[in-house]
Amino acid sequence: MSKGQSLKSGKPLVAQPTALKPQPATWLWLIRHAEVETTYHGRFGGRVDMGLSPRGHEQATALARHLRERAFHAIYASPLKRVQQTLAPLLINGGPKPVIRPELREVDLGDWTGLTWDEVHVRFGFRAFEWLDQLERASIPNAECAETLRARLEPCLRQIIADHPGQQVAVFCHGGVIRMLLGILIGLPLSKTAMFEIDSASVTQLALHPHYAQVQLLNFVPWREVAG
């Protein structure tokens, strides 16, 4: 559905085929953790290592039921608790052993970490929905910026894709991380990813071809479909 430049460097994210035979796409599944503890609702969690709420555990179970139909060749995950608890129901019946990658942890929001949206507005003068713009402008005190976040994630993304040509790979991580990975893959600045939602326990699926990435599924929420 959507095509874009792989990277600013111009290098393809999927290795070029050595023969004329078409190279099969690599399928990448970007999966956000489920709903977190209610204490952290309406707060900038960032690096806080919180767990899931009771509703979040239900979401993770529904997500696992949906994903068990997929034959993943590899699973990569953030080390943070909310991601590990989201992943746990999927692993009950076996499957690839997850590879924990510290690079996939959530963005560090510096002085905003742990504050409510209203507290950030009062102390720093920014609305909650502006957080992506502020990351791009490097204006959050003591936080990562879009440039450093990309520098952390891009080598990890390249390595994952290089290690699994033509395979199906799941990446369990965080909302901010998924936005940056999508930005890298389809050629969007981080702030422009505000145009779509990345909900709790959501699934975004891409087909990666030698010269472009194709978004096949964006922010699909299996637990919401079950509830409906």
In the chain the domains, ranked by start, together with CATH numbers, are 26-109+147-227 (3.40.50.1240)
User: Which tokens go with 220?
Assistant: 């699909």
The Cα-based distances of 213 to 30, 61, 81, 138, 139 in angstroms read: 13, 29, 30, 27, 30
pLDDT digits (tens, 9 = 90+) for 39-88: 999 999 999 999 999 999 999 999 999 999 889 999 999 999 999 999 99
pTM here?
0.89
Q: pLDDT class for 94, splitting at 50, 70, 90?
A: confident
Residue 128 contacts by C-beta under 8 Å, 6 or more apart in sequence?
44, 117, 120, 121
Asked if residue 72 lies in contact with residue 29, where contact means CB atoms within 8 angstroms, the answer is: yes
How far, in Å, CA of 190 to CA of 200, rounded? 19
Strands (DSSP E) found in the chain: 26-32, 74-77, 99-100, 168-173, 203-208, 213-220
Give which of 139, 113, 136, 114 is closest to 126, Cα–Cα: 139
How far, in Å, CA of 228 to CA of 225, rounded? 5
Residue 4: pLDDT over 70: no
The Cα-based distances of 90 to 20, 39, 69 in angstroms read: 38, 26, 11
Token match 């993770």: residue? 60
- 68-102 burial, b if ≥16 CB within 10 A, otherwise e? eeeebebbbbbebbbbbbbbebbeeeebeebebbe
pLDDT of amino acid 95 = 81
Q: Of residues 185 and 226, which shows the higher confidence score?
A: 185
Question: Can you give the length of the chain in residues?
Answer: 228
pLDDT of amino acid 15 = 52
